[in-house]
Amino acid sequence: MPDLIAAKDRLQATLAELEARLTNISRDLSEPPSPDWEELAVEKEDDEALEHQAGLVQREIASVQRALARIEDRTYGTCVRCGEEIASERLEARPEAALCIFCARSEERD
């Protein structure tokens, strides 16, 4: 059985870090464009990379929020696919894990 208080604390800290990262990315994306055409081209490439990174961060945020919801509804630590208990070592390494290692491996192969 996972330590729910410790897991919740870790997840909340991770969520705060991810939200701060997303705020920084959004701030960088909202900067006014450079009047220099060459610099503008570089900024456009940078913006595309930042937009991709923002998407990844948003997915991580959603994953952490789902894990926090599982803590609240007392299903945290149970695989959402097969219903088996998720190993405590897996939850220690990935507190947002929703799948046991067997289901996660089968998902990777699919």
Residue in the block written with tokens 């701030």: 27
| pLDDT tens, residue by residue, 2-32 | 689 999 999 999 999 999 999 999 998 888 8
3-class DSSP assignment, residue 83: coil
| pLDDT tens, residue by residue, 60-91 | 999 999 999 999 999 999 999 999 999 999 99
- Its pTM stands at 0.83
Nearest to 92 by CA among 15, 18, 7, 4: 7
Least confident of 7-11, 37-41, 95-99: 37-41
Alpha-carbon distances, residue 35 vs 7, 39, 40, 51 (angstroms): 48, 8, 7, 21
Give dist(CA 34, CA 55) in Å, integer: 24
